[in-house]
Amino acid sequence: MTPSARLEAAIEILTSIISERRPAPDALKGWGQAHRFAGSGDRAAIGGLVYDALRRKASSAYLMGADTPRAVVLGMLKRERGLDGEAIARLASGGQYAPAALSDDERARLDGASLDGAPAHIAGDYPDWLDDAFAQSFGDQRAEEGAALASRAPLDLRVNTLKADREKAAAMLADLKPEVTPWSPWGLRIALAADAKAPPIHAEPAFIKGFVEVQDEGSQLAALFSGAKPGEQALDLCAGAGGKTLALAAMMENKGQLFATDDDKRRLAPIHERLTRSGARNVQVRTPKSVHTEIDDLQGRMDLVLIDAPCTGTGAWRRNPDAKWRMRPGALEQRVKEQADILDRAVGFLKPGGRIVYITCSLLDAENGAQVRGFLARHTDFTAAAPGEGVVPGARRSAEGVLLTPQTTGTDGFFVSVLRHS
């Protein structure tokens, strides 16, 4: 496909996403099935255009003075890709398979429009209704934080120290040109170009042998901040697919005991294969059979309870940009209630002096600092601390915890608080 044809396809797919409220992966998959002539390179390039348009949807529409899918895609080429009006006119030429030629107004806007004076939610590319929440978290920096959250994320890997060190893993992945991550002692980073296909990491010998796992550096740091030690008794209460479980097992050096569970057994399904590949031998997976009873025997025994809490996922918008436009206020209220319930439930599993490590991939204070303050009000025999002092100098620290963001640390957005029993 020509670059112009790819652009027209991106406009078509974005139209489907917006008009039918379809998740972006579903719309891209449906288009690919209906256009089987498109090769893998074409699909990757089209997907890049669609996701970049979703990342910069508000600011692109502002530049173009319209919020149609065509306007958003054209504005994105200027806003995200840095193309000038002439270059965009060559792509939108009106030729065969190309988008219709630029109108005079479109060309004028591509040549002269700017974000000067744009509201924070426009410059930051996040929903208007979240502006108060972003202001509470970031104040006058909210536009910059939002814009960084709309950037393209790299591919981060965590080296599994049960089987390899970072130098060995990097050597096995040398053709992908990995670089060490700036903060995590286990991280490798692979930069991805806008139109590039994601490398087939799952087919790499380093992955197959269990030397590396795909995990954002922020998620790696959240696990590191848990302070898990060899010989401890630990419970991963919201283990999901097991990313942080695997990191904790490596930190514990296969010593002690780590229990992994989740209220939704479907989320746990991938963990078994991942544990086998990793070489972790100190993990017991407790698959729920009835409400909570599968871990009743762990009451009062844990040194560490890790809560990777269900949340709005605002910190992961770099990787899932369409989620921010589909999010609704009711979702935040529901997540806040779930988080409080899980925090209260975790208390019963701790031995005296034990700790809860509360993690979200959210940037919203309601799910982070406010949630911790509410917990401390209900449980006066706990104290809160922000972990990782000196590890990530740019991180935002407070009395309740530490917040990592794309703007300050170059990671996905994560909040971590250590709640210690007196």
Place of tokens 């009062």: 300
Average pLDDT per block of 10 residues along the chain, 422 residues long: 95 93 92 90 92 96 96 96 94 93 96 95 96 95 96 95 96 96 96 78 96 97 97 97 96 97 92 96 88 82 97 94 90 94 97 97 96 98 94 93 96 97 90
* pLDDT of the residue at 292: 59
* pLDDT of the residue at 290: 61
The whole-model pTM stands at: 0.93
* pLDDT of the residue at 198: 80
Annotated binding residues for S-adenosyl-L-methionine, as ranges?
A: 262, 308
CB 54 within 8 A of CB 125: no
Q: Any idea which architecture 217-421 has in CATH?
A: 3-Layer(aba) Sandwich (3.40)
* pLDDT of the residue at 293: 66
N-to-C CA span, the chain: 64
Tally the C-alpha atoms within 13 A of residue 237's C-alpha that lie toward its C-beta.
Answer: 30
Residue 105, helix vs strand vs coil: helix
Tally the C-alpha atoms within 13 A of residue 30's C-alpha that lie toward its C-beta.
Answer: 14
For residues 242 and 235, what is the distance between their CA atoms, to the nearest angstrom? Answer: 12
Which of 5, 173, 271, 361 is an active site residue? 361
Q: Which ranges in the chain are annotated with CATH 3.40.50.150?
A: 217-421
* pLDDT of the residue at 21: 86
Q: Is-catalytic flag, 238?
A: no
* pLDDT of the residue at 253: 97
b/e code 337-372 from CB counts within 10 Å (16+ = b):
ebbeebbeebbebbeeebbbbbbbbbbbbbbbbebb
